[in-house]
Chains A and B, each alone.
Chain A
């Protein structure tokens, strides 16, 4: 690992000590305070195996490459978001250039609940830090295949939404069962769009799951699937709310469990997501992850009330985990022989309807997503989205052209954008052309058009 080949682990520690969603919200100034105390006191940054970076700001353009922010990117974010996203981008650059072995972006605010279309804050997130890294990797470094392993206790529904139709991004989310926790999704049958079947893998775990099951799943499902997929880059959405002391989650994972997970996964970059046991978990879990990334001995990192063998898996849970691993492996094996449900197909298009709940601001968004079924590329995407009462009754139209779009899809998408500008059917129309790295928006009220 890192230590043995003299390449360092890059750390960005950005606790945003002057940013909060609201004074008493779990996402508040205090969240990384004790983590700061712990890593500073341990002298982690002085170790020859570690190098600390100052984050830089992400560009609005980097965000528009992933998201349709309504009405504009600038209105959905604060500077703290640009810094959190910029930290991930900086570490990506450093890993790709070979200056560091791997990196850990310990940042706030988190991002994995932010979907492709952004009307507001969901699950403490506005923009998706990992998705921004992935599309940056593709646009700036020519990387094609990326795996995102989401180990937050909450289903990474935002990341899932963004890469649902993308066969080159493997998204694996391991989380507490959606029947018992926000956002209520992430079941085994959520497997990705018609062209990217089983590139979305959801592993819902029953409340109380321990290190033992976590590592059974890693060894028997996640690592073999990664081995088959052969990603060029691995990102870990390193949420820490599976910890046994987390106030929002109900899992029983320990700092040692997290350290071993990191050691096995060997992510190129880990990105902090949730984790709200700010005193009892975060200082220990963050330490454990840093040491594991840097190839250092983490055996001394333990919670004051932990002893080996404290948490034991029940036989029922062990049995259920084994069954689920077999089920998911079955889907993975059939990944290239999947036939989409004909009820979702209209002519040359695949349709998906979604209802998205914004828990922070309490409203519902309705979406109809239309994918062009194309034999030459993954197809362009057109999304109609509306939120009651926000922009009157009119909705918005978001058109996304993928990186590897064929000329036919690209032409059709651009024509759709041009045609709809004149119909007055939508309040805002967006065209996200990843193949040309150009992102535009149009306001039908005043006929204003802009580039992001």
Chain B
């Protein structure tokens, strides 16, 4: 048996699954702040009411906890020690934290070009100690190519202040992007302590319920992480909500479909793409507090319209405001909303028809339009906003940069075959959106808890990035911050690089308690360059990224579950 729990802004959902079937679902209001854990446990208790905890194999949580920590700035201040070296002035990125620039530089090949100055580091640390800092992010430009500077600085900090918490950029941001690495390291450092407390209390609560199943946390890329390991990289769990609904849809539709997931909420509609059965990852990392990070995330767009958005007259038209003042008018709310328009056009059975008509008339009277006319205008506006954003997402995906001839030649146009609606407000809009896009519309059974299903079926994902430079005779496993030497420099080839990466991935998987079938390891990127100096090959450069397979544990929808509300 699997349990999935998704903590959303308004509701916390839970499901209990067994053998492709949903056994129980729960929906409880999410309590804010410190009481978040209460909501999680309430939902969990509800689906486990008649279940022997010993039968549970795993429990997966998708939580907004990190998002909440960051939004409310409930953490100690973090100081950044940056080693940017020559190049772009890093003030352009305004990291919005206490920042000290240290001397020193590493180049693109991982060679030291400017040395660190120990006395400078000592002076900076004394200053930070006086100011009361005890959380430090150390980030160097090109540190994934050579971790020596970051490690040296960390050793000096630990030597003087053993209690301080220090995070290294090279372990957190393994891709080449210094500003994103800095921001990701900052967030990791900032959320470490509150997240640790949260994980602890989850652990205690589960012990109290005698649940000894494997516990995982959902990540932004739709993979899971064991709860214990998630403490190393808490920021990876940010934005797992949209990932949860997308995976849920993946579990509820046939395999290999290309689909748009439309999650209509109260004031926002989240869009995600499933291309040939795989959720699309964002080309850039997740954007947190308006800055890009190196956190891998699904490509999700949030459109500021939802069932409860406030409608307001402006001039000769209607504005959809990005805010909510309560329920829809037809359900006793204070102002007209798109839900009222749906009710008038009989696209939903929610709420009271007379109140819905009244709501449309409030707008119609000002604009000199009839009840149905207003309702149609509103629905067209909402559907128009959603469809144009879907089209943009496909365009953006097509326009993602490519750096090889074959990639450019193989770029092709893909358009969705189905629009899948999830979320409370989906019912009325989905068929219209699908109509505009020329595809089928589907609202699967269990659409309202698709997010919790997504959490339940998500699988662990682990990555390894290897860089090998045979001219300099070293390789580096970026996730582990490990730097080793290559013994057989002359003969070291592409296959050796791949084998080495596989070895490390299996090792890492063991550490995370994840089973890996070597044959199923996916190669994400494999680059090999000959280094020619004066017409002679002097070495080779290899970059390899591999991961455990992406996917879901099982699909839902055999037997009676195949009943879809196909509109």
Q: Is A341 close to B, CB under 8 A?
A: no
Chain A interface size band reads 35 or more
Contact between B404 and A43, CB atoms less than 8 A apart: no
Contact between B86 and A18, CB atoms less than 8 A apart: no
Binds B, one of A9-17, A176-184, A363-371, A380-388: A9-17
A8 to chain B, nearest CB (A): 14
Taken residue by residue from 394 to 429, chain B's Cβ proximity to chain A (1 for < 8 Å, 0 otherwise) reads as: 000001111111101101000000000000000000
Give every chain A residue within 8 A of B411 (Cβ-Cβ): 54
Contact between B88 and A44, CB atoms less than 8 A apart: yes
Binds B, one of A33-41, A121-129, A159-167, A444-452: A33-41
Contact between A37 and B108, CB atoms less than 8 A apart: yes
Binds B, one of A143-151, A214-222, A298-306: A298-306
B107 to chain A, nearest CB (A): 7
Give every chain B residue within 8 A of A44 (Cβ-Cβ): 88
Contacts A53-B399, A287-B88, A301-B87; is A30 near B408 (CB within 8 Å)? Answer: no
Contacts A54-B401, A296-B88, A301-B86; is A30 near B530 (CB within 8 Å)? Answer: yes
Q: Is A47 close to B, CB under 8 A?
A: yes
Residues 289-321 of B contacting A (Cβ, < 8 Å): 292
Contact between A57 and B408, CB atoms less than 8 A apart: yes
Give every chain A residue within 8 A of B400 (Cβ-Cβ): 54
A87 and chain B: residue at smallest CB distance? B408
CA distance A304 to B104 in the complex (A): 12
Contacts A54-B402, A287-B87; is A43 near B532 (CB within 8 Å)? Answer: no
Give every chain B residue within 8 A of A16 (Cβ-Cβ): 403-405
Contacts A28-B532, A30-B532; is A18 near B88 (CB within 8 Å)? Answer: no
A16 to chain B, nearest CB (A): 6
Q: Is A330 close to B, CB under 8 A?
A: no
Contact between A30 and B531, CB atoms less than 8 A apart: yes
B465 to chain A, nearest CB (A): 14
B402 and chain A: residue at smallest CB distance? A54
Q: Is B89 close to A, CB under 8 A?
A: yes
Residues 52-83 of A contacting B (Cβ, < 8 Å): 52-55, 57, 78-80, 83
CA distance A169 to B89 in the complex (A): 38
A291 and chain B: residue at smallest CB distance? B88
A75 to chain B, nearest CB (A): 18
Give every chain B residue within 8 A of A17 (Cβ-Cβ): 403-404, 527, 529
Contact between B404 and A300, CB atoms less than 8 A apart: no
B476 to chain A, nearest CB (A): 14
CA distance A14 to B402 in the complex (A): 7
Contact between A297 and B89, CB atoms less than 8 A apart: yes
Contact between A18 and B108, CB atoms less than 8 A apart: no
B408 and chain A: residue at smallest CB distance? A83
B85 to chain A, nearest CB (A): 9
Taken residue by residue from 87 to 130, chain B's Cβ proximity to chain A (1 for < 8 Å, 0 otherwise) reads as: 11100110000000000010111000110000000000000000
Q: Is A228 close to B, CB under 8 A?
A: no
Q: Is A29 close to B, CB under 8 A?
A: yes
Taken residue by residue from 507 to 524, chain B's Cβ proximity to chain A (1 for < 8 Å, 0 otherwise) reads as: 000000000000000000
Q: Is B534 close to A, CB under 8 A?
A: yes
Contact between A19 and B401, CB atoms less than 8 A apart: no
Contact between B403 and A14, CB atoms less than 8 A apart: yes
Q: Tell which of A30, A52, A300 touches B88, judged by Cβ atoms closer than 8 Å.
A: A300
Q: Tell which of B89, B141, B541 touches A41, judged by Cβ atoms closer than 8 Å.
A: B141
Q: Is A316 close to B, CB under 8 A?
A: no
A52 and chain B: residue at smallest CB distance? B401
Contact between B89 and A300, CB atoms less than 8 A apart: yes
Give every chain B residue within 8 A of A283 (Cβ-Cβ): 108
Contact between B107 and A304, CB atoms less than 8 A apart: yes
Contact between B403 and A42, CB atoms less than 8 A apart: no
Give every chain A residue within 8 A of B171 (Cβ-Cβ): none
Contact between B529 and A30, CB atoms less than 8 A apart: yes
CA distance A44 to B284 in the complex (A): 13
B285 and chain A: residue at smallest CB distance? A46
Give every chain A residue within 8 A of B401 (Cβ-Cβ): 13, 52-54
Contact between A38 and B408, CB atoms less than 8 A apart: no
B6 to chain A, nearest CB (A): 30
B398 and chain A: residue at smallest CB distance? A54
Contact between B179 and A18, CB atoms less than 8 A apart: no
Q: Which of B92, B175, B537 gathers most chain A CB within 10 Å?
A: B92
Give every chain B residue within 8 A of A43 (Cβ-Cβ): 88, 93, 177-180
A18 and chain B: residue at smallest CB distance? B404
Contact between B532 and A13, CB atoms less than 8 A apart: no
A284 to chain B, nearest CB (A): 8
Residues on B lying within 8 angstroms of A by beta carbon are 86-89, 92-93, 105, 107-109, 113-114, 141-142, 175-180, 284, 292, 399-406, 408-409, 411, 527, 529-532, 534-537, 541
Beyond the given pairs A23-B530, A30-B529, 17 more chain A to chain B contacts, judged by CB atoms under 8 angstroms and listed by A's residue number, are A17-B529, A18-B406, A24-B537, A29-B529, A29-B530, A30-B530, A33-B529, A40-B175, A42-B178, A53-B401, A55-B408, A57-B408, A296-B88, A296-B92, A299-B89, A301-B86, A304-B105
Residues on A lying within 8 angstroms of B by beta carbon are 13-19, 23-24, 28-30, 33-34, 36-38, 40-44, 46-47, 52-55, 57, 78-80, 83, 247, 279, 283, 287, 291, 296-297, 299-302, 304
20 A-B Cβ contacts within 8 A?
A: A13-B403, A24-B537, A33-B541, A37-B142, A40-B175, A41-B142, A41-B177, A43-B93, A43-B178, A53-B401, A54-B401, A54-B408, A54-B411, A79-B408, A79-B409, A279-B108, A279-B109, A291-B88, A300-B88, A302-B86
